[in-house]
Amino acid sequence: SKLIPDKNKFITYYAFDGLQGNEFSMGAAFKANDGEMFFGGINGVSSFYPYEIRDLRMPLSLYLTGLYILDKPVVSGQKSGKHIVFNKFISDADTIRLNYKDNMFALEFSTFEFGTPERVYYRYMLEGLNSQWVNTAQGINRISFTNIKQANSKR
């Protein structure tokens, strides 16, 4: 892990960041005269210059990829009561309209981060329902809502 003192945070690196593995052996560490550091583990040795480490992680974009009413997928042009739910690909829709009776639904989303999806966590808040951000578990990209009261919510 790398400590960033002024932000009071750690950045943790793993095998998929280029390390030999996620575990290291006790006492298998060495610092060379030029500052290069070596750490050994069960899959070999990792080495780096601490001053050359850059956090290359980019903020990810979030895309809505699915809407389900009572566990059935909703498609473009489908109606909920008298209203069309959305009339584009769901990822392009700026409005979703549901009949008040369709108060049990789920949203599916993705960042399309296929390299290290295990590092992606999501947070959500539905205005009028959640007063704070809710975190999903690792690898979960679908959230379900039940018994939602009639209201206008923002995306």
Residue 18, pLDDT score? 83
Residues 98, 149: Cα–Cα separation, whole Å: 11
Q: Where are the domains of the chain?
A: 2-52, 63-145
- Identify whether the C-beta of residue 38 lies closer than 8 Å to the C-beta of residue 46: yes
Residue 56, pLDDT score? 62
Residues 63, 116: Cα–Cα separation, whole Å: 17
Structure tokens at 23: 């575990």
Q: Enumerate residue ranges in the chain where pLDDT < 70.
A: 55-58, 115-116, 151-155
- The whole model's pTM is what? 0.64
Q: Which helix (H) or strand (E) holds 37?
A: strand 37-41
Q: What is the pLDDT of residues 84-120, one digit of tens each?
A: 999 999 999 999 999 989 989 999 999 887 766 777 8
The topology under which CATH files domain 63-145 is Immunoglobulin-like (2.60.40)
- Cβ-in-10-Å burial (0-12, 13-18, 19+) of 48 comes to middle
Residue 36, pLDDT score? 96
